[in-house]
Amino acid sequence: MGETYSYYPGCTSHSTAIEYIEASHAVMDALGIELKELPDWCCCGAASAHNLSSSLALGLSAFNVGEAHKAGADLVIPCAGCYGNLAQADFVMRQDDKERQRLEKQLDFTYDGEIKMLSLVDLLAREELRPAIKNLVKKPLTGLKVVCYYGCAIVRPGAITGVDDTENPLRIDTMMADLGAEVIDWSCKVDCCGGDLGLTDAKKTTELVNKIIDYAVAAEADCLVTSCALCEANVDIRQQRLPILYFTEMMAEAFQIGDRQRWWKKHFNNPAKLF
């Protein structure tokens, strides 16, 4: 395709979401999309910054939006949480001239509103990519029943994410169907996995996760597909009933690319038996 984007790895790219990042890069290579990591970036603040200080949260995310403007290309953000924070900062700067001017000065960049914040789903679920993706499918995922789980950050709030149907998003569903999988409509697409509650309240997180898995199992899914590292971690660690996969891993499997066997081992519910 010959497209080039700036790339914001986020902290989890080297840790909890390592298989997601590797799979995503493999898919990107196959599609001819070039990602250039930002020369400098910092943590978006995750949930912790805004929990303690809205201004710190805005500052940290704006730092990265500023770096993207300096680099001069749309910014791809694989981590859903990072995407949510950066998109929020971008939204504030788009809406509020005073805040924007303050941040431009502090972070030494010019905000032009041309640089878009893109989640990996935003990037890969584009209509114009569908023929290319279908072309790359070597081994269709025929017979595999999947439920797609979007979680919070790449969906809500709609005014910031640009998602029209916040109660029933379909972008990952469409991609999975293009890979040949049997996509099942289910009830917990956008329910909350507990987020960072995973580190503070195991009981409540397990409760939330179990509800999601109950519904996925009731829908007779073979696996659950997500695009969020935090969702993956919470939903994978706290149950032994269903394999959880990143959507780019599913693409890599269908394309038959990348070090898939190694990725499968990174999961707590090994999905190898599905393929």
Beta carbon nearer to another protein, 70 or 145? 70
* Contact residues for 214 (Cβ-Cβ < 8 A; gap 6+): none
Q: In what order do the strands lie in the sheet with 145-149?
A: 182-183, 145-149, 223-226, 244-246
The residue (of 15 and 261) whose beta carbon lies closer to another protein is 15
Chain position carrying tokens 């788009």: 94
Does residue 274 touch another protein according to CB under 8 A?
Answer: no
Which of residues 179 and 224 has its CB atom nearest to another protein in the complex?
Answer: 224
Provide the minimum distance between the beta carbon of 182 and another protein in the complex, in angstroms, as a whole number: 28
Residue with tokens 């999601």: 212
Answer yes or no whether residue 170 interacts with another protein by CB under 8 A. Answer: no
Binding to another protein (CB under 8 A): which residues in 171-210? 190-192, 194-202, 204, 208
Residue 168 found at the interface with another protein (CB under 8 A): no
The 10 Å Cβ neighbour count of residue 115 is 20
List 30, 34, 47, 214, residue binding another protein (CB under 8 A): 47
272 binds another protein (CB under 8 A): no
Q: Is 53 in the site for another protein (CB under 8 A)?
A: yes
Instruction: Please state, in angstroms and as integers, the Cα–Cα distance from residue 25 to each residue in 80, 215, 237, 252, following that order.
Output: 16, 31, 24, 10
Shortest Cβ 94–another protein spacing (Å): 13
Site for another protein in 75-134 (CB under 8 A): 96, 106-107
| Residues forming a β-bridge with 36 | 6
Q: How far apart are the first and last CA of the chain?
A: 29
One-letter amino acid at 47 equals A
Structure tokens at 9: 């790895």
- Provide, rounded to whole angstroms, the least separation between the CB of residue 96 and another protein: 8
Q: Residue 188 or residue 254: which is nearer to another protein going by CB?
A: 188
- 225: contact with another protein by CB under 8 A: no
Q: Which residue in 4, 55, 142, 168 binds another protein (CB under 8 A)?
A: 55
At residue 176's C-alpha, the angle toward residues 29 and 37, to 5°, is 30
Strands (E) in the chain, as ranges, are: 3-7, 33-37, 75-77, 117-119, 145-149, 182-183, 223-226, 244-246
**Which span sits near another protein by CB under 8 A: 113-121, 169-177, 245-253, 261-269?**
261-269
Q: How far is the CB of 181 from another protein (least distance, A)?
A: 25
In angstroms, the CA 146 to CA 242 distance is: 11
Residues that bind another protein (CB under 8 A): 11, 14-16, 18, 39-43, 45-57, 59-60, 63, 96, 106-107, 152, 155-159, 166-167, 190-192, 194-202, 204, 208, 233, 237, 265-266, 268
